[in-house]
Structure 1
């Protein structure tokens, strides 16, 4: 495969918490950074200063997010989640603790037959994360 550019990007829509969520995520993962932020200006469709479009990276995976100026009847659902392969026991423990803080544990961190060490959580913003310890770690 010659084309190695990421062509499919996870897009997260928040209602006024996009920048807060990005900062939260980059504080959790070691190789993480905010790549760009474009904000609404005076007289534009969103609240002035809120995130019109931003990109951030977690372990090289690029995500996009926005602050929706429209209140929706929906939010994030565990039907789709971000799956993170952790390389060490310390890493999975740390990520699980941070992501579950003020969130909801969907499956407690533990050993599961056929899976190994695994945990599933919806974070404080409702984004669902599945954490798995690399079997060869």
Structure 2
């Protein structure tokens, strides 16, 4: 690493990534995993979403929605909970492992945070 002129090293970078930013990253990546039909919001997210539609005239684009993902950022770690719906024919354990891996990688790549990802399969759609 190159030192700046004058011989002193640059101070360490301090930053904070918000819960919503991490949730959007996680939701976007989870939706791309084969076998994930949709993300499912829990009751608290549903109620917040209803309140948000009354307060905000501009809807959030689908690719930026974070329903189905709950995040708590603490220091250099993010606790991420993802709730998905799959379709019949996908192995739930394999799907959960893939979502966990993909979401964790996306959060690390984008934010630099280590992520503890928990996946819940809320429903299986039948043909």
**Structure 2 length as normaliser, TM-score?**
0.33
- Structure with greater helix share of residues: 2
- Structure with greater strand share of residues: 1
Higher relative contact order (CA 8 A, sep 6+): 2
Larger Rg: 2
**Structure 1 length as normaliser, TM-score?**
0.32
